Structure 1
Amino acid sequence: MARPRTPLLNRELIRETTLRLIDTHGLAAVSMRKIAAELGVRAPSLYSHYANKDELLDDIGDTIAERVDVTGFGTDDWQSALRTWARSYRAALAEHPNMVPFLASSPGNRPGALDAADAIHGGLTRAGWPPRTATLIGASVKYIVVGSAVASFAGGFLDDLDTYNERYPHLSQAHRLRENAAEIDAESFELVLESFLRGLDLQYAAHAPDTESAKRRTEAG
């Protein structure tokens, strides 16, 4: 029996093809028709696997979310859990920057995003944070990560020395930022993350006075 000229369709193949197209052309440029053309099939063939593009994107979002590590929220070390979550979240977004607008939106009905949100909120409240504050912490980390992933601050500067020399004397080294953008952006992310965590640690004793961390701070004071 002759082998088919095009691979048999399945959800994994459709996801991988769609994500490759999004990485190359951007989210808005990808349609079910273009995905089908890339796979060498007609668009109706996709609908036996996904009801519409939104359902396909939800599935891709859950696949990417699997790379985000929230396992630390099953322990008592809420700071390490937040740190690991934020770093893995940023790394997942960095792999697919064109998916950031979609992944940065609310969880909706995506099981992966809701599972992560549940783990994060549960871990923070078990650690002693009030539910409302736990919600604010989760949102704040998301703002930090998404803000870091949306665009490169350092990469936004021109590498033309003459642009800055005369008119912007305090930016005389700005022409060097672009070539070191990855390093600067990564260090900037770490700076704001660690500053945020230190600020939370200062509030923690007031929120959870019975924890070991609070006791140590009381004794140290």
Structure 2
Amino acid sequence: MVRPRTPLLSRERIVEVATAIVDAEGLDALSTRRLARELGVQAPSLYNHFGTKEEIIDAIGDAIVSGVDLSMLGRDPWPQALRAWGRAYRAAFRAHPNVVPFLSRGPARRPASLRLADAVYGALVDAGWPPAQATRIGAAMRYFVLGSALGSFALGFVDDPSLYAADYPHLRDAHRLAERHARIDDGAFELGLDSLVDGLERRFERLSGGDAGGHHQE
């Protein structure tokens, strides 16, 4: 069989290579010219699959979100489901931190992102949350997860004890945070997740014990 003169392209292959560029160098490094060069094709070939660079970035975001497990939503009790979904959501973003600022803009028209929003909202409403509060809970979880994926708190401190000792006595051990960053960041996420969901459980108990007809509209 004679090989094609140029590599065969697919949307999936384009997204795969574009994601690798963004993961390694950030969104600003992605251009259609750079992407075409990495794929071994001419830039116009990309337009058979994507009309603009922005469409490619949309596809990257959608591919990342499509990997988030949603199976627990609507299946498990809502507190456990929120915890499990929050962890899955964070894991997807932590694997691709350079895309997080783009994804923070919202789901737009991306199918996977809209399916995720629909699943979270639907699970909460079906569990008995008023629609408006279900919307706020989904937003609060999203803010929390996206914020946790933007960077490492512990890695923000430098390994220089002299920087902290004199002027910041309460930070005298801060130079040790970087070497423990994974444990600190994971622990902080779990603490925040527990605090958020525990608070929501107490709120739900108050809501369920009150005037359901009056509260379920807010």
Deviating more after overlay: 52-61 vs 184-193: 52-61
CA distance in 1, matches of 2:85, 2:69: 5
- SS of the residue corresponding to residue 7 of structure 2 reads coil
Give the corresponding residue for 1:87. 87
2:158 corresponds to? 158
Aligned match of 1:170: 170
1:181 offset after TM fit, Å? 0.9
Pairing of 1:62-73 with structure 2 (within 5 A): 62-73=62-73
Q: Are 1:98 and 2:83 counterparts?
A: no
Task: Give the structure-2-normalised TM-score.
Answer: 0.92
Give CA deviations for 1:146-177 in whole Å, capped at 9, x if unaligned: 11111111100001111111111111100000
Equivalent in the alignment of 2:207: 207
**Residue 208 of structure 1: CA displacement?**
2.8
Give the CA deviation at 1:71: 1.8
Q: Deviations over 1:25-67 (max 9, x none)?
A: 1002211111011111111100001111122222221211122
| Structure 2: stretches of 5+ with no match in the other structure | 211-218
Write the distance in 1 (CA, Å) between the matches of 2:2 and 2:160.
Answer: 59
Whether the 8 Å contact between 1:6 and 1:39 is mirrored in structure 2 is: no
Show the counterpart of 1:74: 74
For the residues of structure 1 that align with 2:22 and 2:106, how far apart are their CA atoms? 20
SS at match of 1:72: coil
Residue 127 (structure 1) aligns with: 127
- Indicate the residue corresponding to 2:186 in structure 1: 186
Residue 146 of structure 2 aligns to a residue in which SS?
A: helix
Judge conservation of contact 2:74–2:126 (CA < 8 Å) in 1.
no
- State the AA in 2 paired with 1:103: L
Q: Which residue of 2 aligns with 1:213?
A: none
Counterpart Cα distance in 2 of 1:75 and 1:208: 20
The answer for the alignment partner of 2:11 in structure 1 is 11
Identify the structure with bigger relative contact order (alpha carbons < 8 Å, sequence gap 6+).
2
| CA shift digits 1:64-100 (9 cap, x unpaired) | 1122122222225001111111101110001111111
Normalising by structure 1, report the TM-score. 0.91
Structure 1, unaligned runs of 5 or more: 211-221
Aligned partner letter, 1:102: F
AA aligned opposite 1:56: I
Distance in structure 2 (CA, Å) of the matches to 1:67 and 1:38: 24
CA displacement at 1:102 relative to structure 2: 1.2
- AA aligned to 1:18 is A
Residue 180 of structure 1: how far off its partner (Å): 0.8
Output the amino acid matched with 2:74.
G
- Taking every aligned residue pair, what percent have the same amino acid on both sides? 51
Q: Match for residue 114 of structure 1? A: 114
The residue type equivalent to 2:137 in the other structure is I
Range that drifts further, 64-73 or 130-139? 64-73
